[in-house]
């Protein structure tokens, strides 16, 4: 049963791995390529100079609020919590008739196999090495804690010396495990909030005002668009445009990960990203910018006031072709071709 659950969990990713879709073009499954990327250093552990690897177990370390004031060795604080999932696995092996037991065993097996280098690389072949760390997301930590508490309760109740006492004592209520987990989790959450001075209401209010202003700017942009129009935004605004203006089409989207633009070929993606960067480059002339805007039939620029300085020469060179509107802390440049 655990093996069947494990196969079901893995099947969607295996199908995607061997499906010829554009979104996988930029994802490398070659371990030599993936393991040499700097962003995998904290996620993947390689076994010496071999091609075998697994996820980095350090991702499982835990930090507690005000832990510098807790008189317990740091290593115990960081790793001690793993004793609960391990107890859950032991109880699941012993009580395989429990409904939750096969799921706990299957998820533990997956986590172990993706951590152990001699098997982890096999999963990495199907999923990509960086994805191995996500296997721990599937383990039911909350359910495993409740399962451990229930098993401990049942073991105590099964002893003759406390059996009659346990029947009447509310401490052995079936709801105790859930109540205990809720209280402890809530306490840790509140301590974390206090340690980090949360919630920061002033920052929250500023964000609310910012998003309200952006919504107004998006409405103003839609009012200037007759049907549909191509729009380019400042780097920190461009990806927000689809949520602000339903009449706008983008030239690029989330360029930090080109795989998001899977509907273009790699050459087209690179060209669009390069052209967008040239439009916002101070070194680009006004003529070069207008030619690039015409190339993609861009009718509007959605800019921060800071980025407006990059288009001062452009506006001076083509005063009859550019209309400026300032609304919601955003500058909208309408370009007439």
Residue 168 has pLDDT above 70, yes or no: no
**Of residues 34 and 134, more confidently modeled:** 134
Query: Which band of pLDDT confidence, cut at 50, 70 and 90, is reported for residue 164?
Result: low
More confident residue, 259 or 239: 239
pLDDT score recorded for residue 324: 93
CB 283 within 8 A of CB 291: no
Each residue of 181-228: pLDDT tens digit?
Answer: 788 888 888 888 888 888 777 888 888 899 999 999 999 999 999 899
Phi and psi of 21, rounded to 5°? -125, 145
How many CB atoms are closer than 10 A to CB 43? 18
Residue 223 pLDDT = 94
Supply the DSSP string of 64-129, one letter for each residue.
-TTGGGS-S-HHHHHHGGGHHHHHHHHHHHH-TTSTTHHHHHHHHHHHHHHHSHHHHHHHHHHH-G
Question: Distance from CA of residue 240 to its chain's centroid?
Answer: 17
How many beta carbons lie within 10 A of that of residue 225, not counting itself?
18
- More confident site: 34 or 302: 302
Mean pLDDT value of segment 146-158: 82
Burial class of residue 100, CB neighbours in 10 A (0-12, 13-18, 19+): middle
Question: Rounded to the nearest 5°, which phi and psi values hold at 325?
Answer: -135, 130
Checking if the pLDDT of 323 tops 80, the result is yes
Question: Across residues 159-185, what is the average pLDDT?
Answer: 65
């Amino acid at each position: 049963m655990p093996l069947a659950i494990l196969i079901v969990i893995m099947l969607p990713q295996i199908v995607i791995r061997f499906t010829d879709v554009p979104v996988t073009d930029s994802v490398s499954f070659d371990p030599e390529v993936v393991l040499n990327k700097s962003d995998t250093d904290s996620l993947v552990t390689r076994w010496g100079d071999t091609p075998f690897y697994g996820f980095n177990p350090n991702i499982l370390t835990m930090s507690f609020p005000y832990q510098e004031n807790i008189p317990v060795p740091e290593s115990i604080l960081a790793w001690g919590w793993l004793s609960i999932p391990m107890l859950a696995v032991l109880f699941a092996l012993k009580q395989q008739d429990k409904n939750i037991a096969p799921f706990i065993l299957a998820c533990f097996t997956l986590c172990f196999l993706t951590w152990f280098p001699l098997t982890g690389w096999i999963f990495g072949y199907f999923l990509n090495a960086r994805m191995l760390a996500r296997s721990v997301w599937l383990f039911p930590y909350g359910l495993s804690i409740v399962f451990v508490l229930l098993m401990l309760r049942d073991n105590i109740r099964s002893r003759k010396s406390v059996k009659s006492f346990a029947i009447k004592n509310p401490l052995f209520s079936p709801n105790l495990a859930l109540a205990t987990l809720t209280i402890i989790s809530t306490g840790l959450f509140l301590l974390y909030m206090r340690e980090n001075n949360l919630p920061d209401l002033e920052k929250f209010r500023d964000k609310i005002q910012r998003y309200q202003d952006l919504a107004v700017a998006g409405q103003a942009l839609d009012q200037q668009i007759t049907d549909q129009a191509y729009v380019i935004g400042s780097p920190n605004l461009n990806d927000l445009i689809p949520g602000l203006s339903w009449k706008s089409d983008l030239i690029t989207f989330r360029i930090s990960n080109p795989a998001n633009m899977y509907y273009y070929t790699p050459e087209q993606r690179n060209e669009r990203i390069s052209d967008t960067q040239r439009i916002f480059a101070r070194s680009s002339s006004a003529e070069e910018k207008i030619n690039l805007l015409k190339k993609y039939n861009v009718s509007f620029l959605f800019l921060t006031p800071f980025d407006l300085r990059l288009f001062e020469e452009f506006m001076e060179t083509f005063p009859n072709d550019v209309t400026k509107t300032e609304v919601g802390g955003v500058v909208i440049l309408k370009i007439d071709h």
